Amino acid sequence: MNNNFPGGVWPVMLTPYNEKQEIDFNALKELVDWYIKEGVSGLFAVCQSSEMFNLSLEERIELSRSVVKAAAGRVPVIASGHISDSFEDQVAEINEISKTGIDAMILITNRLAREDESDEIWLDNCKKLLKELKTDIPLGFYECPYPYKRLLSIENIKWCAETGRFFFLKDTCCDAEEIRQKLEAIKGSSLKLYNANSSTLLESLRDGATGYSGVMANFHPSLYAWLCKNYEKVKAEDLSDMLAITSLIERQYYPVNAKYYLKTFENIPISTFSRVKEASGLSETFKKEIAALNKISQKLIKQYLD
């Protein structure tokens, strides 16, 4: 493990399945190669896009280990996957996944307190958890929307930053002002913020965010990589507007639509099978919308990357 987390794009990885709904590790390797070819800075394995709540602990461990192996040191790999309600089970999950060679273990914020519990209870549980984990495990946070979205309070994020144990925050608040407050709270610390939201991304990069970690890196990560490197340029604003509009596709039929996009337009040998949605639910209209997205993406790639 290391804590050298570069700025740029960190896709929330998909999990390929075969017709038996088993993880397709051959397709996974090709998917990792594609992400890296597209210019991502790191990989976020075993997250909600990976369907982690529908994977056994053994599958989460093997998925994390396989991504690390496929990346082969070309980019850092982080993973989450402590999905249990029980504190003891979460500790066991974290410790096992941490052994897979990942560069950081990402804690799910909604696992540390129930939806009706206060930020004070959350912080007490966080302190309790840290005592159970080895101090050499780099950590991060993921404001996962499922089963409910728990955003870090400014007070708690400041406390966590001051511990020196946290290095990565996948922020899902989708609010530019709140992101500014979080950036101020972590200023000067080892904790870096990666925005998951396309609409606020450019503004957050200009305010000091380190990069992007969101769904749309499964469609056109190279465009996000360009934006993360060139956010100060005036023409970044036009690209930002296009990325904000095209990101509406994630509300369509995700993650099946992303798998269809990769299979159809990027020639990745990935099926559209999913454990969270029926592949058959991807209608012909949805497919036409994805084809239109591909046309727009290719035009933007020629405009910005060629």
Q: Which residues are catalytic?
A: 142, 170
Range list of H helices, 140-175: 154-163
Question: Cβ neighbours of residue 37 under 8 Å, at least 6 residues apart?
Answer: none
DSSP state of 151: P
* Strand-by-strand arrangement of the 8-9 sheet: 8-9, 211-212, 192-195, 166-171, 139-142, 104-108, 77-79, 43-45
In angstroms, the CA 268 to CA 28 distance is 9
Which class for 189: exposed (0-12), middle (13-18), buried (19 or more C-beta within 10 A)? middle
Q: How many CA atoms lie within 13 A of 69 on its CB side?
A: 12
Q: Tell me if 169 sits within 8 A of 139, measured CB to CB.
A: no
Q: Tell me if 243 sits within 8 A of 227, measured CB to CB.
A: yes
